[in-house]
Amino acid sequence: MTDEKRLEELCRSLVARSRGSIVSAMVVDEEGGVRAHNPVTELDEDMAAIAVGATAAFRYMSEARGYPPPHTIDVEMRAEDARMRLRIRPLGSGLILVVKTSRQPNLGLVDILMEQV
What CA dihedral angle connects 59, 21, 93 and 90, to 10 degrees? 10
Give the domain range for residue 40. 3-115
Q: Which is more confident, 42 or 94?
A: 94
pTM of the predicted protein model: 0.88
Q: What pLDDT, in 10s, does the model give residues 63-79?
A: 999 999 888 999 988 87
Q: What pLDDT, in 10s, does the model give residues 2-55?
A: 788 999 999 999 999 999 999 999 999 998 899 999 877 777 888 888 888 899
In the chain, how many domains are there? 1
pLDDT of residue 10: 95
How many angstroms separate the CA atoms of 102 and 10, rounded?
A: 18
pLDDT of residue 1: 61
CATH number at residue 43: 3.30.450.30
